[in-house]
Structure 1
Amino acid sequence: MVTIRMARGGSKKRPFYKIVVTDSRKPRDSGYIERLGFFNPRATGQEVRLELKQDRVDHWIKEGAQLSTRIATLLKESAKAAA
């Protein structure tokens, strides 16, 4: 099954996540099909916290990709911010 989830990057105690489309059987940080954006939980001030290619997210959802629980929460958050 194809899943939209986060792959961790950054350094120790300074997480940075890529939002990716990947096969659900692959390990968290291994290869992915497509990168859809990023999430920076430690963003402050003018730094961007969440960036998504919404058209590509919609495309993958229509193709049957499942969302992780955290990604579903972030999508709701970004929809509220856009409205």
Structure 2
Amino acid sequence: MAVKIRLRRMGSNKKPFFRVVVTDMRCPSSGRFLETLGWYDPKRKGSNYELDLERIGYWTERGAQVSDTVSSLVRKNKAAQRRAAAAAKSSA
């Protein structure tokens, strides 16, 4: 089974939010999924996403392909964690 990590659109008209899900590539984007790995809300200010990086790593190790948008969110999350660690290190 070919597996992909991608966004699944939720919400109502003009108020979208997305769940980051693991799904079979052949299923439609709003169809059946295997696991929910996080969420993304483009309309929200501040922290507008949450990801389970441990589970994303688990699925990518097993050959899951990551969509462009999800990989962008993962990069943003890792950069934010590095900035937070550097700030904590400099303040200590």
TM-score for both structures, normalised by structure 2: 0.84
Letter in 2 for 1:7: R
Equivalenced residue count is: 81
Unaligned runs of 5+ in 2: 83-92
Once the two structures are superposed, what CA deviation does each residue of 1:14-44 show, in whole Å capped at 9, x if it has no partner? 1100000000110010110000000010112
Match of 1:52 in 2: 51
Structure richer in helix, relative to its length: 2
Match of 1:63 in 2: 62
Larger RCO of the pair (alpha carbons < 8 Å, separation 6+): 1
Q: State yes or no: 1:24 paired with 2:25.
A: yes
The alignment's C-alpha RMSD in Å is: 0.9
Tell me, in whole angstroms, the C-alpha distance in 1 between the residues paired with 2:45 and 2:15. 13
The runs of at least 4 consecutive aligned structure 1 residues that moved more than 2 Å come to none
Query: What percent of counterpart residues are identical?
Result: 37
Tell me, in whole angstroms, the C-alpha distance in 2 between the residues paired with 1:40 and 1:79. 18
Unaligned runs of 5+ in 1: none
Tell me, in whole angstroms, the C-alpha distance in 2 between the residues paired with 1:73 and 1:62. 18
TM-score for both structures, normalised by structure 1: 0.93
Tell me, in whole angstroms, the C-alpha distance in 2 between the residues paired with 1:66 and 1:26. 14
Structure having the higher Rg: 2
